[in-house]
Structure 1
Amino acid sequence: MSITTKHGTTSAEPAAATPPRRSPRRGGVRRTRFGYLAVFLGPWTLGFLVLTAGPLLASVYLSLTDFNLLGNPTFIGAENYVQMFTADPRFFTSLGVTAMYVVVSVPLQLLLALGLALLLNQGVRGLSYYRALYYLPSLIGGSVAIGILWRTVFGYQGSVNQVLRLLGFEDLPNWVNNPTWSIWTLIALNVWTFGSPMIIFLAGLRQIPAELYEQAQIDGAGAVARFLKITLPMLTPLIFFNVILQTINAFQAFTPAHVISNGTGGPADSTMFYTLYLYIEGFTRYNMGYASALGCILLALIGILTLLNFLFSRYWVFYND
């Protein structure tokens, strides 16, 4: 069909208008996204419900019962908790031993970890080998084999006493069987597993801009001033994170105390960690209801520490933004 215009006649026809493409319905998009979320989060959700939430709720229920693993649980209310805080001196002994272990070993471990991280951050050759070497104790420190080795090393004829005898010391104790010194052998073992916080500190140190140190050095700041004014403030979130993480790990320590004391918490309850006392009540005395109450107290403490870590991290992000 020809079209006449003021410029002449043309036979071109106007192009037909292309209908707009219809966008997919929002409901379909939402269903698709929900399907993806279900696929990826489904395994985690199932594992959380079966392996974490389920046992946790079961422990809370069992803590309110009298249960000996052989018969059916008998509901007794809060009697286990009342007994725990009013008529169980061993409960407070385990709290005291665990508190001493945490308060002494965690700061020493983190100081050693931070010191070695600062040393390795100075451009040491073979850094990857040192990191692997120092991280190894964190992987094997809580194993049964290391517990047996530690009991041998600190025994009466162990390597520690042999070295001390060569240095002229006499009348040396059997460290692991002495009520005064046994807890210190476990503290030394926890300090030895400094590799994990050291790696975290080292990663944080490598993220601090070198320009800050150069400017401070130009302004006349010494090494101590640079550490106090730059390094520590920049590492504050990692320090707090390591404190919380290692504190939780220390409260959960079980294997070294069980191996060194042969599962008794001795001598004289000097190595009666809280987790070991929980184990004795539940699987030696078959008092699972009371052991569940002990476990709930420990879980509440770990939950509080985790919440503190979360709140601090949120505050730090908000404050620095």
Structure 2
Amino acid sequence: MEGGARKKNGEFPGDAGVIPRAVRQIFNILGAQCAKYNMKVTFLELYNEEITDLLAPEEVTKFIDDKSKKPIALMEDGKGGVFVRGLEEEIVTTANQIYKILEKGCAKKRTADTLLNKQSSRSHSILSITIHIKECTPEGEEMIKCGKLNLVDLAGLENISRSGAREGRAREAGEINKSLLTLGRVINALVEHSSHVPYRDSKLTRLLRDSLGGKTKTCIIATISPSLYCLEETLSTLDYAHRAKNIKNRPEINQKMMKSAMIKDLYSEIGRLKQELYASREKNGIYIPSDRYLQEEEEKKVQFVE
């Protein structure tokens, strides 16, 4: 997904991965259209079923393994999807800025040397790019079109005995395998049109819910090896890809809304944030507005029933 690093003169490397190539194409298209746009980026890591913000300030990430620290919350958005509360959003205007964000985030990702891979990923990561493009109707009314691209780098399914993983590394591998096996069950359930799809069994499948049978276009790239030693991993990966091909998504065109309606929504969001700030300062036992607390309690009840 990342590929080779940029050269010192800023030249685009020939072995660049999917993410930098996608970023370059996005800016080429926007430049050709002379579009007026706003773009923001988030970058998260899923390690041992805990979400880490790869763009968080250094003083925050220093205490990332502190057990007393409250983990980043994965919330329902009320529309059948999920969102990660509190992620840092970087506003970008050039491809080079995203390349730097990618380098900054990848430097924080967990990797380790195993018998199968000198730089084995010990976590999954998702780089999200959200773009708002301004358009005008024939009547002169301004409209905003919104699109989002999620670029997901999955850690590989690992044979613990062959990788040489021990103690902490073995536990990491167990969590990686657990989330990937859940992903496999979700894929099977969708292909077989099962009445229950176990999205909630892993944070990975909850994050990828819209990409698996949802409203997005999804592409899976299977990384395999010609080595006979890796035959088991190659067959497992190809089986994943073959089953995933049979999932039917229902893509929808990028959302468009009137600029005035979007401004109204932003005012509502500002009002909600002010309420939360006021409730936090009061410190009377509830650190969020009471209506938000009741809403989240109802969501928990629904999750428990499911």
Q: TM-score range by the shorter chain?
A: under 0.3
Structure possessing the higher relative contact order (Cα contacts under 8 Å, 6 or more residues apart): 1
Larger radius of gyration: 1
Larger fraction in strand? 2
Structure number having the greater helix percentage: 1
